[in-house]
């Protein structure tokens, strides 16, 4: 019996990873170190939904993963953001470990708001030193 279940998402990640365009800094604070790649569309949930719809069995995942990746290229490669570990953790503390697919747009908005806040803070700090 093939036992792949828990690792399915790992097979997808391993395959898709090479296509990730990871930025060299955090989108929010421009930090260079400890960067993570965050998907606004939770991969585990996307895969679960797709597998239910297409009735893909665990043991077939190696055959199907390229199809899944091809059909989800916007979610895998475009609706994603590079964040430093701190901001990545902060996002997940708000939206949960595996954010619902319905919150993708909210997450993107949150990230943009944090970025603006960060920029404002820099400007404010600068003016106090002038
Ligand atoms: Zn950051
Ligand atoms: Zn994440």
pLDDT single digits (tens) 4-14: 556 678 888 88
Of 7, 75, 67, 13, residue with least CA distance to 40: 75
What mean pLDDT is predicted for residues 20-40? 95
Q: What percent of the chain shows pLDDT beyond 70?
A: 92
The answer to whether 66 touches 113, Cβ cutoff 8 Å, is: no
pLDDT at 1: 47
CB 9 within 8 A of CB 51: no
DSSP type of residue 97 = S
Q: Please tell me the distance between residue 90's alpha carbon and the centre of ligand 1 in angstroms.
A: 9
**Contacts for 82 with CB less than 8 Å, ≥ 6 apart:** 22, 23, 24, 25, 26, 27, 35, 36, 37, 38
CA of 19 relative to ligand 1 center, distance in Å? 22
Query: What is the value of pTM for the model shown?
Result: 0.86
Reference 84, options 15, 30, 8; nearest CA is: 30
What does the domain layout of the chain look like in residue ranges? 5-129
**Ligand 2 center to 123 CA (angstroms):** 28
């Amino acid at each position: 019996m093939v036992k792949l279940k828990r690792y399915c998402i790992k097979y997808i990640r391993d395959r898709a990873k090479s296509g990730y365009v990871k930025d060299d800094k955090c989108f929010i604070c421009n930090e260079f170190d400890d960067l993570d790649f965050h998907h606004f569309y939770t991969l585990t949930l996307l895969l679960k939904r797709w597998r239910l719809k297409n009735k893909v069995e665990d043991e077939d995942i190696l055959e199907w993963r390229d199809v899944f990746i091809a059909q989800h290229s916007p979610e895998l490669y475009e609706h994603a953001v590079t964040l430093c570990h701190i901001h990545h953790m902060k996002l997940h503390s708000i939206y949960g470990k595996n954010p619902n697919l319905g919150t993708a747009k909210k997450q993107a908005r949150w990230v943009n708001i944090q970025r603006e806040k960060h920029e404002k803070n820099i400007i404010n700090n600068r003016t106090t030193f002038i």
